Amino acid sequence: MPLKPILLSALASLASASPLLYSRTTNETFVFTNANGLNFTQMNTTLPNVTIFATGGTIAGSDSSSTATTGYTSGAVGVLSLIDAVPSMLDVANVAGVQVANVGSEDITSDILISMSKKLNRVVCEDPTMAGAVITHGTDTLEETAFFLDATVNCGKPIVIVGAMRPSTAISADGPFNLLEAVTVAASTSARDRGAMVVMNDRIASAYYVTKTNANTMDTFKAMEMGYLGEMISNTPFFFYPPVKPTGKVAFDITNVTEIPRVDILFSYEDMHNDTLYNAISSGAQGIVIAGAGAGGVTTSFNEAIEDVINRLEIPVVQSMRTVNGEVPLSDVSSDTATHIASGYLNPQKSRILLGLLLSQGKNITEIADVFALGTDA
């Protein structure tokens, strides 16, 4: 038998053993490296194994003032420092840290997402000794990364995305406890088969639905109409119902995907100018998402431009909403003269991720419309 399967088999058997194999050491000295090169500072065989993929953001932010909740530097703290700041985490799981990036979430790119998804599939999904994973992330675009991972990592193991609204140097910083709760959920067998989840502020939410609803407050991540999957009580996850697949969710295999085609989002407003649409396409956009007024609405003139782009240039256009919640049903945007695409319950940023993934699979307008239609009710 090849060496790697032997190692994985041995580690899988150790995972159910009772004695302490390796104890926690200090000064960031790694005491165990697994077959995938993940470094653990503790290997207690009575605990599950969780990997933290760190990307930066407010949870790793820093400022000279303990009262600063704006104007701080994002991504100033590395993953090992995050882990060391929450020693209680090691009572929950054996944790390995991987520094994927260390930036504000506005600088997360599709290249980072593709790389992270492939690594999650390889070092977490394919490793029987790994219980799940946590991704630390800035909150501004956290829901986009969460939606991407929900679509592209589908092995059933908990993939938990977590952030913070206060930097690590602030009084009552929320990051440490959020991280502890995220690791706890990732380590929990009851969290399996629920897709990617966002865990913050004692709440467990589906990555498919959750969105940031407030620019500043700690209770910002919500799924207004759909609700939460569960909550954390004394660092114990309580799920309200068994695992269920969100209506319209589609899984993607991006093993052979090297890039995501460019998709632009255009915001609808009174007296909207058509040249914004054509300029986006001439600049390289292969798909367009409209953050429409109400249920996907645009001006009459802009709607004519959309139909020109669809019919003449064969560019898919998805009509979403600029409101925080609601649905864009196909009946509100459909036409007899062009294949309009309704976003259903997906907001513009999630519609952009889904459209980009579909384009990366070579789907045409009709096929793309069929996928989006799975998430609409009319």
| Beta-bridge partners for 98 | 53
140 among annotated binding-site residues: yes
Task: Decide if 145 is catalytic.
Answer: no
Burial of 75 (0-12, 13-18, 19+ CB in 10 A): buried
Instruction: Identify whether residues 229 and 265 lie together within a single domain.
Output: no
Domain hosting 101: range is 28-237
Residue 319 falls within a domain, yes or no?
A: yes
3-state secondary structure of 182: helix
Work out the percent of the chain whose per-residue pLDDT is above 90.
79
Spatial CA neighbour of 198 closest among 69, 350, 357: 350
Strands (E), 224-301: 230-233, 236-239, 263-267, 287-292
Q: How far apart are CA 177 and CA 217, in angstroms?
A: 16
Residue 243 falls within a domain, yes or no?
A: no
Q: What pLDDT is recorded for position 3? A: 42
Q: What pLDDT is recorded for position 12? A: 42
Average pLDDT, the chain: 90
What is the distance in angstroms between the CA of the first residue and the CA of the last residue of the chain? 54
Instruction: Identify whether residues 223 and 277 lie together within a single domain.
Output: no
Q: How far apart are CA 91 and CA 61, in angstroms?
A: 25
Residue 3 falls within a domain, yes or no?
A: no
CB 195 within 8 A of CB 246: yes
Q: What pLDDT is recorded for position 69? A: 65
pLDDT band of residue 267 (cuts 50, 70, 90) is very high
Instruction: Identify whether residues 139 and 284 lie together within a single domain.
Output: no
Q: pLDDT tens across 231-263, in order?
A: 999 999 999 999 999 999 999 999 999 999 999
Task: Decide if 139 is catalytic.
Answer: yes
3-state secondary structure of 324: coil
Residue 270 falls within a domain, yes or no?
A: yes
Q: What pLDDT is recorded for position 67? A: 66
Report, as an integer, the average pLDDT of 106-134: 97
Q: What pLDDT is recorded for position 196? A: 98
Q: 273: domain CATH number?
A: 3.40.50.40
Number of separate domains in the chain: 2
Global model pTM greater than 0.95: no
Instruction: Identify whether residues 227 and 276 lie together within a single domain.
Output: no
139 among annotated binding-site residues: yes
Last residue of a domain, one of 203, 237, 271: 237
Amino acid (1-letter code) at residue 61: G
Residue 16 falls within a domain, yes or no?
A: no
Instruction: Identify whether residues 46 and 133 lie together within a single domain.
Output: yes
Instruction: Identify whether residues 272 and 141 lie together within a single domain.
Output: no
Q: Flag whether pLDDT at 6 surpasses 50.
A: no
Tokens 């409209």, residue located: 290
Instruction: Identify whether residues 320 and 190 lie together within a single domain.
Output: no
pLDDT band of residue 170 (cuts 50, 70, 90) is confident
Residue 361 falls within a domain, yes or no?
A: yes
Q: pLDDT tens across 71-91, in order?
A: 667 667 788 888 888 999 999
Catalytic residue among 139, 141, 145, 376: 139
pLDDT band of residue 20 (cuts 50, 70, 90) is very low
Catalytic residue among 45, 55, 58, 129: 58
Residue 122 falls within a domain, yes or no?
A: yes
Q: pLDDT tens across 294-351, in order?
A: 999 999 999 999 999 999 999 999 999 999 889 999 999 999 999 999 999 999 999 9
Instruction: Identify whether residues 311 and 232 lie together within a single domain.
Output: no
The DSSP symbol for 72 reads P
Q: Which carries the bigger pLDDT value, residue 23 or residue 376?
A: 376
66 among annotated binding-site residues: no
CB 316 within 8 A of CB 289: no
Instruction: Identify whether residues 209 and 317 lie together within a single domain.
Output: no
